[in-house]
């Protein structure tokens, strides 16, 4: 009878050990996925911030060159193409952020930051005001993406 109880305890211990190991592995995999998701979100938010800053810089140079009378037409066209390419990178970064999160508040802040930067092109806002607005919104995006 002693051998039976020893076997029962051994089997129960093995089953509990397997269950515990399975639960720990599941928890570790879930945690790793959470960390990876957060990293993708931070990367997407950083890419958007970089793309917006790059676009604003290229837009500034495009506008600056347009105001200089002695600037060659080719330079102005090149600046315009660079600005358009940078704007496309902003849209790509925005799409990546949309795929990385479903957080409506974060997406609304990112959209506001994008719109504040794009507003410079319409001359509806002073570049300095747009820059300050963009910085404030990008700071809010960074805080929300943490």
Q: What is the domain count for the chain?
A: 1
**Tokens encoding 106:** 């974060």
Does this model's pTM top 0.85?
no
Residue 67 placed within a domain = yes
Range of the domain at 124: 38-145
Residue 87 placed within a domain = yes
Residue 8 placed within a domain = no
Residue 84 placed within a domain = yes
Tens of pLDDT, residue by residue over 23-35, are 889 998 899 999 9
Any idea what the CATH number is for the domain that residue 96 is in?
A: 1.20.120
What is the pLDDT, as a whole number, of residue 122? 60
Residue 80 placed within a domain = yes
Residue 26 placed within a domain = no
């Amino acid at each position: 009878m002693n051998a039976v109880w020893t076997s029962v305890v051994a089997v129960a211990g093995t089953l509990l050990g397997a269950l515990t190991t399975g639960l720990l592995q599941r928890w570790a995999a879930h945690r790793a996925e959470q960390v990876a998701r957060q990293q993708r979100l931070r990367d997407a938010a950083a890419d958007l911030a970089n793309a917006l800053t790059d676009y604003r810089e290229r837009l500034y140079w495009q506008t600056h060159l347009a105001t200089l009378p002695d600037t060659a037409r080719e330079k102005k066209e090149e600046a315009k193409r660079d600005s358009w390419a940078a704007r496309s990178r902003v849209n790509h970064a925005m799409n990546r952020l949309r795929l990385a999160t479903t957080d409506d508040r974060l997406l609304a802040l990112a959209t506001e930051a994008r719109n504040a930067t794009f507003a410079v092109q319409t001359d509806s806002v002073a570049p300095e005001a747009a820059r300050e607005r963009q910085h404030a919104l990008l700071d809010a995006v960074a805080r929300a993406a943490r």
